[in-house]
Amino acid sequence: MSGLPSVSREWHLVARPAGWPEKEQFALREAPVSPPGEGRVLVRNLHFSVDPYMRGRMNELNPYMPPFELNRPMDGGAVGEVIASAAEGFSVGDHVLHGLGWREFAEVGAEDAVKVDDSLAPLSAYLGVLGMPGLTAYVGLFDTASFKEGDAVFVSGAAGAVGSQVGQMARIKGASRVIGSAGSDEKVRLLVEEYGFSAAFNYKNGSIAEQLKQAAPDGIDVYFDNVGGDHLEAAISSLRLHGRVTLCGAIGGYNDTEPSPGPRNLPLAAGKRIRLQGMLVTDHPDRQPQFVEDVAGWIASGELKYHETVVKGIERAPDAFLGLLRGENIGKMIVSLPS
């Protein structure tokens, strides 16, 4: 195993944010690299993911995932090339998906590495449309929201990695109407002209409730919530009898320093018999094979499209993460490392 790198750079969280994270709360540090132990592989990361859920892991307490430890390497989805292997079934040159991002090189247990095929899709796609965000969209729409043909669907954060896939999946499976909200006129055009949404609006241009009513005058059956707050309140007003809500994320309040008020119209949920259900993609590993089969087919046929916003260089990882929180991405935000 000669010729292996001796040092890897990795990002550490050095202080917990109160409100919006700041670049000074991250530190890029060096760590030694050793040959992999028995049953493990050494991976040179090619791409790693920054995701909204990571903001919650920067807090001291997190309700559903362990928080990042201070002065320890952060982690998250990554895809890379095996450069040394002491694990049966893995060879040098294999490409694998694993959970040790935010660093240049990672020693990964064989049980935590999944081979991926770059002939099926670009490697970065396994962090987005064919990865955790795509599976989140798939499960959140079809399982949690119990989508059925003919439903009218509203998606917030619709130009992001999850929302853009939710809307397209609903369209592909026969939604009567798909509406999306986004934070710029450019994103609104993308939703309608490329992703095939029936209508979309810029939530910064006026009342969300009024814009949603104009886009869906007959109401909606499903709301996929990536934003929370005023979007959830607007959706509750527009939901029809027995409407369903997937509570996936609430990025609109992740950096608030005071608790956000709940929807003021929540009592409507009782009379309309609305179902509001939270979801975590980690509860649904059994759906992975069908998800990959369906989505790979939709990509190949051209029915489903995706975008990535790529930031190059490990040095810029905090910039990518902060840009994600500000909504600067179209589709999946990815950090790519030189090959």
CATH number assigned to the domain comprising residue 244: 3.40.50.720
Residue 293 belongs to a domain? no
Q: Position 6: which residue type?
A: S
Say yes or no: 325 and 241 in one domain.
Answer: no
Residue 61 has pLDDT above 90, yes or no: no
Q: 247-260, pLDDT tens digit by residue?
A: 998 877 667 667 67
Taking the chain, what is the end-to-end CA distance rounded to the nearest angstrom? Answer: 19
Residue 323's pLDDT is 96
How far apart are alpha carbons 25 and 34 in whole angstroms? 28
Give the total number of structural domains in the chain: 2
pLDDT band at 211 (very low <50, low <70, confident <90, very high): very high
Question: What integer is the mean pLDDT of 49-59?
Answer: 94
Question: What integer is the mean pLDDT of 324-337?
Answer: 94
Residue 2 belongs to a domain? no
Name residue 187's beta-bridge partners. Answer: none
Residues in contact with 58: Cβ distance below 8 Å, sequence separation at least 6, in sequence order? 13, 16, 17, 21, 25, 67, 68
Residue 184 belongs to a domain? yes
Residue 220 belongs to a domain? yes
Say yes or no: 276 and 263 in one domain.
Answer: yes
With tokens 């040179």, the residue in question is 44
Residue 260's pLDDT is 72
pLDDT band at 334 (very low <50, low <70, confident <90, very high): very high
Residue 81 has pLDDT above 70, yes or no: yes
Question: What integer is the mean pLDDT of 48-77?
Answer: 92
Say yes or no: 275 and 148 in one domain.
Answer: yes
CA angle 212, 214, 216 (to 5 degrees): 65
Residue 256's pLDDT is 66
Residue 2's pLDDT is 54
Question: What integer is the mean pLDDT of 43-62?
Answer: 93
Quote the tokens at residue 145: 């929201």
Say yes or no: 112 and 161 in one domain.
Answer: no
Residue 80 belongs to a domain? yes
CA 105, 109, 112, 116: dihedral to nearest 10 degrees?
60
CATH of the domain at 36: 3.90.180.10
Residue 7's pLDDT is 97
Q: Looking at 19-28, 73-82, 253-262, which range is the least confident one?
A: 253-262
| DSSP line for 190-256 | HHHHTS--SEEEEGGGS-HHHHHHHH-TT-EEEEEESS-THHHHHHHHHEEEEEEEEE---GGGTT-
Say yes or no: 332 and 210 in one domain.
Answer: no
Question: What integer is the mean pLDDT of 55-63?
Answer: 88
Question: What integer is the mean pLDDT of 184-213?
Answer: 97
Residue 1 has pLDDT above 90, yes or no: no
Say yes or no: 212 and 328 in one domain.
Answer: no
Looking at 282, 297, 325, the residue that finishes a domain is: 282
Helices (H) and strands (E) in the chain, counts: 9, 15
Say yes or no: 162 and 257 in one domain.
Answer: yes
Say yes or no: 98 and 222 in one domain.
Answer: no
Is residue 96 within 8 A of residue 108, CB to CB? The reply is yes
Using DSSP, state whether 152 is helix, strand or coil: strand
pLDDT band at 119 (very low <50, low <70, confident <90, very high): confident
Q: 130-161, pLDDT tens digit by residue?
A: 999 999 999 999 999 999 999 999 999 999 99
Residue 62 has pLDDT above 90, yes or no: no
Is residue 101 within 8 A of residue 76, CB to CB? The reply is yes
Q: 266-291, pLDDT tens digit by residue?
A: 999 999 999 999 999 999 999 999 99
Say yes or no: 77 and 172 in one domain.
Answer: no
Q: 285-322, pLDDT tens digit by residue?
A: 999 999 999 999 999 999 999 999 999 999 999 999 99
- The average confidence (pLDDT) of the chain is 94
Residue 290 belongs to a domain? no
Segments forming the whole domain that contains residue 71: 7-128+307-336
Say yes or no: 157 and 218 in one domain.
Answer: yes
Say yes or no: 124 and 149 in one domain.
Answer: no
pLDDT band at 41 (very low <50, low <70, confident <90, very high): very high
Residue 234 belongs to a domain? yes
Residue 49 has pLDDT above 60, yes or no: yes
Say yes or no: 219 and 203 in one domain.
Answer: yes
Is residue 8 within 8 A of residue 31, CB to CB? The reply is yes
The helix, strand and coil proportions of the chain, stated in percent and rounded to the nearest 5, come to 30, 25, 40
Residue 251's pLDDT is 73
Q: Looking at 49-63, 93-107, 164-178, 220-234, which range is the least confident one?
A: 49-63
Residue 292 belongs to a domain? no
